[in-house]
Amino acid sequence: MRAERQSVPEEKVDRKRTAVNLLVRAAQARDAHLAGDGRALASLLQEFKIIKASQMQRPKMQCKPLDRYVE
C-alpha cells in the first residue's frame, strides 16, 4: 500500500531554485560587503531593481571600527 508520488510542477521547482540561488548570492554579496567591497552588494541590489544605477555611483561609506564601543 504505497502512496503514489505526486509530481511537482516545473514552475514551482524553478521558483524554489531561483530563491535558493538568490539567497546564496545575497550571502556572498554580504560577505564581500563586510570585507570592504560594497560593489558586490550594490550590483545585486541593482539587478533586482532595489536601487537605481545612479545610486551605485555614490561614494562608499566608511564603517567605523566597533572596538571602541566594546568593553
Residue 55, helix vs strand vs coil: helix
Q: Are 60 and 38 in contact (CB under 8 A)?
A: yes
Q: What number of other Cβ atoms are within 10 A of residue 42's Cβ? A: 20
Domain locations in the chain as residue ranges: 10-69
Q: Are 26 and 34 in contact (CB under 8 A)?
A: no
Cα–Cα distance for residue pair 31/27, rounded to 1 Å: 6
Residues 22-46: pLDDT tens digits? 888 888 888 887 887 777 777 777 7
What is the average pLDDT value for the chain, to the nearest integer? 71
What share of the chain in percent tops pLDDT 70?
59
